[in-house]
Amino acid sequence: MELFTNQVLAGIATGAIYACMALAVVMIYQAIDHLNFAQGEMAMFSTFISWQLMQWGVSYWAAFVITLAFSFVAGIAIERILFKPLAKAPVLTNVAGFIALFAIINSSAGLIWDFTIKQYPTPFGSAPFLGSQLISTHQAGMIGVTVLLLLGLYFFFQYTRIGLAMRAAASVPESARLVGINTSWMVALGWGMATAIGSIAGMLVAPVVFLEPNMMGGVLIYGFAAAVLGGLSSPLGAVTGGFLVGIFENLVGTYIPGVGNELKLPIALALIISVLVVKPAGLFGRPIVKRV
Amino acid sequence: MSAAEDVVAEGHQAVEAVPKRAMTLGTGTSLLVLAVLLLVPVFVKNFIIFQMTMLLIYGVAVLALNILTGGSGQFSLGQSAFYAVGAYVSAVLMEHFNVNYALTIPVSAVVCFGFGFLFGKPALRLSGVYLALATFALATAMPQLLKLNFLEHWTGGVQGLVVTKPDAPFGLPMSQDMWLYYFTLAVTLAIYIFSVNLLRSRSGRAFMAIRDNEIAASAMGVDVALYKTLAFGVSAAITGIAGSLGAIAVQFVAPDSYTITLAISLFLGMVVGGVGWLPGSIVGAAFIIFVPNIAESISKGMSGVVFGVLLFLVIYLVPQGARQAASKLR
């Protein structure tokens, strides 16, 4: 029993990473209606920016804020310059665009900062949290930040005019335009916010997985899986999905014999798919009603 | 969250409706392309012949994805898994059972058809991003499954298997590479003709009806579940054939040659070639084989940047891939 509780705790700790990334995934999905495969790389690049700032002697929190602002602007810029011209192109062409962006960012980060692994500081310290060996203060801090972000997003989407406008622009663009919403800029804003949230995820993840150009590959996959499991339209679902995926993954690794580190991911994904077969819109997602 | 999300705009579909006449080339152009493919190997070096063989093989694999996505509107990031199964079936049959290489191809087609058909069953309930995730899971699982200990006796584990390259039969005066090229070309032609006819048949019309509007298709009496899984099966079978040919041409199979990267390349090949335009598959295959090499030759450190920029250029100029370029020429 103790082994079980321990593994669940450890799962929650890793789950916080996925939850954070899943929030960024849901954010962009709300804005543009598809998944951005380059999101992990964008987060990685932002994290490198903050690392560079700290190397130049900027304090952690100052670097954090500057990076957030930079990511927000960069996200908007990427949408305006690269993806706005593709707005009318088929969806699959857009996906190819994300893959191109992935290659560009990954390769240029490697060129600027090379592929060696770098240490990244944490503002929360890494002592055991409340005497538990399984959760460090950093991981506790990460869970805290994720929950704060979730609350922030919830209020933004539910209680602000601009949040409502963004939701409207994402779900029924034609009608949104008729009531005077600038849908094109809403998409750009969504990109900016998703990039900023992604950069937070990157900065929180970096102390755990260490900083290098390929650090987000695995995290993004789990983030996607978490977001899809929780329901792509629900920030709460994404966070819950993140924790569930973390727990799944740990329990599978502990209790199923012969599952090494490498089989964890396929099995976790298979579990998620079995859940989706039963509940196709995800755990918290709203089934899409189609007009025939 | 709100009522606004309950309604999704009409006519929203992931894959464009391509009329079936626009899916193929005219007879004249087809014959011209065939003549080029037949004659070029006589004049070039063995290495280039090998690259042309790989071009045809990837072309077949992209074509398979094109039937699935362009034909039936289902999306797959798991093609590398079917490719791997095909490659391994051939390699194991040739090396452990001494089966003739040509005979392994129909076997891997049958095995992959079964595999794809079975995989298509649970995937029926999923569409869009969910299907992408499911197929993605398949692609990430496949290399790990091939490394499993109890399969090691057959698959060679992480090391993989070495495959013997076949000689030209009947004492034909040809190098191994050239024979393999013509052999691949024959298989490719057969598959291309099969695919064109498939899309023109009753099944092909059913695929396209499902792609364009699933509800309308089922109202017209199309067995949606059957045809969706059938599309998966056919696509997997053709991908498996490509995998077999690939194993014979490269003379080597190993789990790490068939990762998700391969599936993503095939996807890019389909987009660049034009979703739903079968001849575009070969253009897409050329893109995924040659452009990374070109990018590397321009700058080693920045090959990713160059590749990304080239890909962006292509999708800006022709968002619908080579199909658009071809229709402009007409």
* DSSP states of chain A: -HHHHHHHHHHHHHHHHHHHHHHHHHHHHHHHSS--TTHHHHHHHHHHHHHHHHHTT--HHHHHHHHHHHHHHHHHHHIIIIIGGGTTS-HHHHHHHHHHHHHHHHHHHHHHH-SS-B----TT--SEETTEEEEEHHHHHHHHHHHHHHHHHHHHHHH-HHHHHHHHHHH-HHHHHHTT--HHHHHHHHHHHHHHHHHHHHHHHHHHH-B-TTTHHHHHHHHHHHHHHH-TT-HHHHHHHHHHHHHHHHHHHHHSTT--HHHHHHHHHHHHHHHHHHSTT-SSPPPPEEP-
SS3 of B81-93: the string is: HHHHHHHHHHHHH
User: Is A36 a residue whose pLDDT tops 60?
Assistant: yes
Instruction: Write out pLDDT tens, residues A143-160.
Output: 888 889 888 888 888 899
CB contact under 8 A, B308 and A91: no
* Residues A41-67 pLDDT 10s: 899 999 999 999 998 988 889 999 999
Statement: residue A77 has pLDDT above 90: yes
Give the one of A108, A232, A266 whose C-beta lies nearest to B305's C-beta: A108
Binned at pLDDT 50, 70 and 90, residue A92 comes out as: confident
Reported confidence tier of residue B10, pLDDT bands at 50, 70, 90: very low
- Within 8 A of B216 by CB-CB distance, chain A residues are 292
Residue B172 has pLDDT above 80, yes or no: no
CB contact under 8 A, A34 and B129: yes
pTM (two decimals): 0.84
Domain boundaries, chain B: 18-329
Q: Do B9 and A91 touch (CB under 8 A)?
A: no
The reply to whether residue A272 touches residue B141, judged by beta carbons under 8 angstroms, is no
- Please state whether B166 falls in left (phi above 0), alpha (psi between -120 and 50) or beta: beta
The two three-digit tokens of residue A218, written as one number: 């695995």
Length of chain B: 330
With CA atoms as reference, the chain B residue closest to A33 would be B129
Q: Are residues B133 and A276, on separate chains, in Cβ contact within 8 Å?
A: yes
Closest residue, chain A, to B301 (C-alpha) = A111
Would the CB atoms of B69 and A174 count as touching at under 8 Å?
A: no
Per-residue model confidence (pLDDT) at position B9:
34
Determine the 3-state secondary structure of B175 from DSSP.
coil
> Which of A96, A263, A273 has the CB atom closest to B311's CB atom?
A96
Q: Which pLDDT does position B13 carry in this prediction? A: 52
CATH topology of domain B18-329: ABC transporter involved in vitamin B12 uptake, BtuC (1.10.3470)
Alpha carbons A76 and B180: distance in angstroms, whole number: 51
CA B142/CA A266 separation, integer angstroms: 9
Instruction: Determine contact: A110 vs chain B, CB below 8 A.
Output: yes
Strand partners, A132: A129
Residue A15: predicted pLDDT: 87
Which of A99, A228, A276 has its CB closest to that of B268? A99
Q: B-contacting residues of A 215-234, CB under 8 Å? A: 221, 224-225, 228, 232-234
What does the block give as tokens for B58? 């990837």
Q: Count CA atoms closer than 13 A to B63's CA, side-chain side.
A: 31
The pLDDT-based confidence of B64 (bands split at 50, 70, 90) is very high
Half-sphere exposure in the Cβ direction for A10 (13 Å, CA): 15
Residues 243-272 of A with CB under 8 A from B: 258, 262-263, 265-266, 269-270, 272
* ipTM value for the complex: 0.80
Distance CA(A47)–CA(A45), nearest Å, equals 5
- Looking at every residue in chain A, the average pLDDT score rounds to 83
Q: How far apart are CA A16 and CA A146, in angstroms?
A: 7
In one-letter notation, the amino acid at residue A279 is K
Backbone φ and ψ of A128, nearest 5°: -60, 140
Chain A residues whose beta carbon lies within 8 Å of the beta carbon of residue B287: none
Checking if the pLDDT of B4 tops 50, the result is: no
Between chain A and chain B, the number of residue pairs with CB atoms below 8 A apart is 162
Residue B6's pLDDT is what? 34
Residue A110's pLDDT is what?
87
Cα B55 to Cα B199: distance, rounded to the nearest angstrom: 23
Chain A residue nearest residue B219, CA to CA? A292
User: What pLDDT, in 10s, does the model give residues B17-40?
Assistant: 666 666 667 777 777 878 787 777
Partner B contacted by A291 (CB < 8 A): yes
Q: What is the DSSP letter of B161?
A: E
Query: In chain A, pLDDT over 90 holds for what percent of residues?
Result: 12
Pair B243, B58: CB distance under 8 Å:
no
Q: How far, CA to CA in Å, does B312 sit from each of A34, A138, A256, B250, B323? A: 18, 39, 44, 30, 17
